[in-house]
Amino acid sequence: MRSITVVGASLAGLSTVRALRAEGYDGEIVVVGEERHTPYDRPPLSKDFLKGDIDADALALGDADEYEALDVQWLLGERALRLDPVARTVTLTGGRHVRTDGVVVATGANPRTLPGTDGLAGVHTLRTLDDAQALRAELLDGLPRVVVIGAGFVGAEVASTAHRLGLHVTVVEALDVPLERQLGREMGLVCSSLHTDHGVRLLCGTGVAALVGEGRVTGVRLADGRLLPADIVVVGVGVRPNTDWLAGSGVQVDDGVVCDTGCSTGIPGVVAVGDVARCPNPFTGRHARIEHWSNATEQAKTAARTLLTGVSAAAPLTAPYFWSDQYQVRIQVAGHVAPGAVPEVVEGDVDSRTFTAVYRREGTPVAVLSLNQPKFFNRLRRTLVPAAAAVVS
């Protein structure tokens, strides 16, 4: 294999480049990125960057010296339009055809939007650096009323940031209990109560009927008829994996690129990594996309070995892990909160918002949740048992 094209200048894409070089690959590597930025860290976009505490340079995942050592050709500001595995080409927006022996699909996902919001000023999604810069400019401009639609982790972080900037914030969530799918009902209620703890209005169990305004948003009409005045609206209602460019390529797509445990797509010389990759996870036993920072870095090593050897590499038996910073509270979660898993607080107490809970399924620890107890969390995450072992026990 003399040439590899990585489509997606993301954390997952860069991590795969690093892994390829670490595995001894010395051929050509081309990285195609739709954005004009070299890879940057996304988690701070909803927190420190959005507050204005750090600038864009602080987000960089690599520097000039590393990129020189990695010997990468960057094609930034270019979007992949088509993959032809037979001709071994990736077609870009400018009409260029990149010939390649191997392809890494690392195109991530785009935020879902609400119908009728195109061209309406004051309405934002948050996924890219450009998104964050546009939203930060409005938040720092002091527009006082912010409505966040969606109380998932990104929405909650944006609400927390806007609150710290002194703005009046309302969070709207269609589910009765925010984060129930990720944390279960009991702990979803606990973590979402961080909003009300800090005076942020949380409205659950109602959807959005429409956004109101001509030229610029002035309000949010809820499904129950209420109208929320709004100067800024942030939509955080999930993402859609970027797979349209793979149509007709033979790569199987179903809520992401369908892969085996080694990140292989079933098309020789084509692997997928990061938020776009839907792989069986050896720990959870689920075939799903995992949109976590740590997953992108670990998965890249597996994908690189698969691509270079032509044989699906074994994925590490590691518990999925993610974190979220909200209202000066660090939430950390490891493992998989499977149906039937029951949380038990083993350290601290819920009322203080400083505690650690272990989820057990039939007596076996399968996940751990911690608020502001990182040391205790790190100790307990090593005791978690994979799904298959939990069922056997």
Q: Are the beta carbons of 212 and 219 closer than 8 angstroms?
A: yes
Other beta carbons within 10 Å of 240 = 13
Could you tell me the pTM of the whole model? 0.95
Q: Give bridge partners of residue 92 from the DSSP assignment.
A: 80
Q: Hey, how many other C-beta atoms are within 10 angstroms of the C-beta on 389?
A: 14
Q: What is the pLDDT of residues 278-304, one digit of tens each?
A: 999 999 989 999 999 999 999 999 999
Q: Angle at CA 219, nearest 5°, toward 231 and 145?
A: 35
Q: What is the CA radius of gyration of the chain?
A: 22
Largest CA distance in the chain: 61
Please, are residues 169 and 148 in contact by the beta-carbon 8 Å criterion?
yes
Strands 227-229 and 219-222: antiparallel
What are residue 249's phi and psi, to 5 degrees? -85, -15
pLDDT of residue 389: 58
Name the nearest CA neighbour of 54 among 44, 65, 67: 44
DSSP string, 100-149: -SEEEE---EEE---TT-TT-BTEE--SSHHHHHHHHHHHHTT--EEEEE
DSSP 305: H
- Percent of the chain past pLDDT 90, that is, above it, reads 93
pLDDT for position 392: 40
Q: Is 346 exposed, middle or buried (0-12, 13-18, 19+ CB in 10 A)?
A: middle
Helix (H, G, I), strand (E, B) or coil at 211: strand
Distance between CA 328 and CA 182 in Å, rounded? Answer: 21
In DSSP terms, 331 is beta-bridged to 324, 371
Q: What is the DSSP string of 12-27?
A: HHHHHHHHHHHTT--S
Q: Judging by DSSP bridges, how do beta strands 102-105 and 3-7 pair with one another? A: parallel
CA distance 49 to 56: 8
Per-residue pLDDT of the chain (393 residues; tens, 9 = 90+): 999 999 999 999 999 999 999 999 999 999 999 999 999 999 999 999 999 999 999 999 999 999 999 999 999 999 999 999 999 999 999 899 999 999 999 999 999 999 989 899 999 999 999 999 999 999 999 889 999 999 999 999 999 999 999 999 999 999 999 999 999 999 999 999 999 999 999 999 999 999 999 999 999 999 999 999 999 999 999 999 999 999 999 999 999 999 999 999 999 999 999 999 999 999 998 999 999 999 999 999 999 999 999 999 999 898 999 999 999 999 999 999 988 899 999 999 999 999 999 999 989 999 999 999 999 999 999 999 887 555 443
Contact 280, 261 (CB under 8 A): yes
Return the pLDDT at 388: 57
Angle at the Cα of 130 (from 139 to 93), degrees rounded to 5?
155
Handedness of CA 328, 334, 337, 342 (dihedral sign): negative
CA 315 remoteness from chain centre: 20
Residue 58 · residue 30 · CB < 8 Å: no
Q: Quote the DSSP letter at residue 92.
A: E
Sheet holding 3-7, edge to edge: 72-76, 28-33, 3-7, 102-105, 270-272
